[in-house]
Amino acid sequence: MDLFYSLIHNDLPWQLLLRFNNQLSKVDLNKLNGTHTNIPKLKAGLVGGQFWVAYTPCNTQYKDAVRQTLEQIDVIHRMCQKYPQTFQCVRSSNEIKEAFKNHKLASLIGVEGGHSIDSNMATLRIFYQLGVRYMTLTHSCNTPWADNWLVDMGENPAESNGLSDYGKRIIREMNRLGMIIDLAHTSIKTMNDVLQVSKAPVIFSHSSAYALCNHKRNVPDDILRKVREKNGLVMVNFFNNYVTCKSTAKLSDVADHFDHVKAIAGYQAVGFGGDYDGVPSVPAGLDDVSFYPDLVAELLRRNWTDREVKAALGENFLRVFQQIEQVKSSPGDDEPIPYDQVQNQCRTGYGYGDQNNNGNSLVLMPTVVMAVYLAYHLLV
């Protein structure tokens, strides 16, 4: 085959922000150096698809996270527009297949971190309309409705004990939209809550096996078994710290994680996670996106069948995506998160009844009018 029909987590848009402030006029992706990803490397790696990540750090939470995320979504769309011979932006499983047939790189959008929606259902829906097809529920910070992996490290306090009631409603809304739920970066309790609440399969877009590297960003065996029961997917991360729990790793170490996920959850639950251009170090032999064929060759040497390898490269993801699309329904959830769960000095409270931009009470306005009326008559 000409391309590996792979759907892989890739942070190139973040590099475009850091290096060029998203000015595509100042970069040629055919000649870009110093990153894990450029067009020649993608072609050499026979890459058929990417989940380009619209990421903004946790320090934007309660500030400009929504704007920053919108800018990253925009730069992904502009990548497709600038390089139409290479990239085809897609929004559905059928469009992914169409891109494969056209020998274009199927380009999807994932939002990495639930703080990007600012605890707002309308923002979630707008992101979906803009082409976002998965959202990682947390990054390395809690949201007001879900706990992140650092809770398990003891570095963040638990705030929602997994998912709050509002968090469970966000899961149901993602199901309704047909948006994929990504559990990478979440706490164990959040994982379990989502696996219980979601009506659709879930993914880990870039996580590895905890049994081989006991890092809290990885997936324990009991969760792997639940992912199998849910018909979900664990897409193996290539970051050295998550592969060997050390600063160095090699290609065979990554293949060990593929073997482990397959052994516990079945080959139907395995995917390629990558995380290129989002991590500072990758294993020797997987230096950039051009090295995917070497990992495929290693899996085949380990007696993975052609069917199992093709499943891990993309067929498993397509199955998950199609199942999620089948769960879509209407109408949506339009009840906002309680104001006391998100109130802060950077947030206004319009619509909540007793909050406005100045912190004054709209409900009390008739009382103010009455006081003025009484004062006037007392003075006359």
The rounded distance, in Å, linking the Cα atoms of 206 and 327 is 24
Report how far residue 104's alpha carbon sits from residue 84's, in angstroms, rounded to the nearest whole number: 8
Q: Using CA atoms, how far apart are residues 6 and 12, in angstroms rounded to an integer? A: 16
Distance CA 154, CA 100 (A): 44
What per-residue string of b and e applies to 30-64 under the rule 16 or more CB within 10 Å gives b? Answer: eebeebbbbbebbbebbbbbbbbbbbbebebbeee
The residue type at 198: S
Tens of pLDDT, residue by residue over 295-330, are 999 999 999 999 999 999 999 999 999 999 999 887
Tokens in use for 170? 């966000």
Q: Count CB neighbours of 77 within 10 A.
A: 16
Intra-chain end-to-end CA distance of the chain, in Å: 92
| Backbone torsion region of residue 108, taken as left when φ is above 0, otherwise alpha when ψ lies between -120 and 50, otherwise beta | beta
Residues with Cβ within 8 Å of residue 244, at least 6 apart in sequence: 213, 253
What pLDDT, on a 0 to 100 scale, did the predictor assign at position 355? 63
The dihedral through the CA atoms of 327, 328, 329, 333 has a sign that is: positive
The angle at the Cα of 241, spanning 239 to 247, to the nearest 5 degrees, equals 105
**Contact indicator for 80, 102 with CB cutoff of 8 Å:** no
Place of tokens 């600038």: 82
User: If DSSP codes are grouped into helix, strand and coil, which group holds residue 182?
Assistant: strand
By CB atoms closer than 10 A (0-12, 13-18, 19+), residue 199 is: middle
| Active site (catalytic) residues | 9, 11, 112, 139, 185, 206, 275
Query: Which pLDDT score, from 0 to 100, does residue 362 have?
Result: 41
Residue 354 confidence (pLDDT)? 66
- Residue 346: predicted pLDDT: 87
Per-residue pLDDT of the chain (380 residues; tens, 9 = 90+): 455 667 899 999 999 999 999 999 999 999 999 999 999 999 999 999 999 999 999 999 999 999 999 999 999 999 999 999 999 999 999 999 999 999 999 999 999 999 999 999 999 999 999 999 999 999 999 999 999 999 999 999 999 999 999 999 999 999 999 999 999 999 999 999 999 999 999 999 999 999 999 999 999 999 999 999 999 999 999 999 999 999 999 999 999 999 999 999 999 999 999 999 999 999 999 999 999 999 999 999 999 999 999 999 999 999 999 999 999 887 788 889 999 999 988 888 989 986 655 544 444 334 444 444 444 444 44
Per-residue confidence (pLDDT) for residue 2, from 0 to 100: 56
DSSP string, 65-88: HHHHHHHHHHHHHHHHHH-TTTEE
pLDDT on residue 333: 86
DSSP element (H, E) containing 44: helix 39-44
Indicate the SS3 state at residue 342. Answer: coil
Q: How far apart are CA 342 and CA 116, in angstroms?
A: 14
- In whole angstroms, give the CA distance from residue 348 to residue 52: 32
Q: Do 110 and 52 contact (CB within 8 A), yes or no?
A: yes
How does DSSP classify residue 335? P
